[in-house]
C-alpha cells in the first residue's frame, strides 16, 4: 500500500504545468548566465557579462563579448541550447529538470545540457535515443 501511494505521489510530482521555453533563474537569466556561443567558439563554458545581453524566448542570455552576442542574434537557433536549456536526459524521459552548464555536449551542431555530470554520463549512453524522444517530448513540456 505504501509503495502504491509513493508511486502515485511521485507521478503527481512530475505532472507539472508547462515550463518556460528557456530554463532561467528567478531574474530571467538563461543557463545560469553562461554564454551559449562560447560552447561552440571556445569549446568550454564561459560566464557571460551583464553588459552583453540579448532577450530571447522570455529569457536574458549573457555573452562574454559583443561579438558572441551578435553571432547569437544573427542565428539564435544555431546557438541556443536544445530543449530550452533544460536537462536533455529529463526531457528525453518526459519531464524537465534544471542544468549545470559544466555538463554539456555538442551533438550534430546542437548544444545539449544536463543536470550534472553523472546524469550526463547516463544520457551519453543512450544519447541518440534520448535526443529523438526529447524532440518528441519537448513541444508538450513547455508553454
What is the torsion angle, in degrees rounded to the nearest 10, for the CA atoms of residue 36, residue 60, residue 70 and residue 48?
Answer: -50
pLDDT class of 18 with cuts at 50, 70, 90: confident
Could you give phi then psi for residue 65, rounded to 5 degrees? -155, 165
Please say if the pLDDT value at position 9 is more than 80. Answer: no
What is the average per-residue pLDDT within 104-126?
98
Mean pLDDT of 76-82: 97
- Give yes or no for a contact between 134 and 92, defined as CB atoms under 8 angstroms apart: yes
Mean pLDDT, the chain, as a whole number? 90
- Spell out the residues 6+ positions from residue 21 whose beta carbon is closer than 8 angstroms to its own: 57, 58, 59, 84, 142, 143
Q: What was the pLDDT predicted at 142?
A: 87
Amino acid at each position: 500500500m505504501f509503495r502504491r501511494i509513493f508511486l502515485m505521489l511521485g507521478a503527481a510530482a512530475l505532472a507539472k504545468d508547462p515550463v518556460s521555453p528557456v530554463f532561467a533563474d528567478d531574474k530571467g537569466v538563461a543557463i545560469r548566465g553562461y554564454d551559449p556561443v562560447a560552447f561552440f567558439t571556445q569549446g568550454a563554458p564561459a560566464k557571460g557579462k551583464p553588459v552583453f545581453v540579448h532577450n530571447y524566448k522570455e529569457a536574458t542570455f549573457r555573452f562574454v563579448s559583443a561579438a558572441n552576442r551578435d553571432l547569437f542574434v544573427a542565428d539564435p537557433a544555431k546557438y541556443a541550447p536544445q530543449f530550452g536549456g533544460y536537462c536533455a536526459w529529463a526531457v528525453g524521459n518526459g519531464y524537465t529538470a534544471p542544468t549545470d552548464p559544466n555538463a554539456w555536449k555538442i551533438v550534430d551542431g546542437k548544444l545539449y545540457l544536463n543536470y550534472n555530470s553523472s546524469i550526463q554520463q547516463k544520457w551519453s549512453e543512450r544519447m541518440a535515443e534520448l535526443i529523438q524522444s526529447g524532440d518528441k517530448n519537448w513541444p508538450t513540456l513547455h508553454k
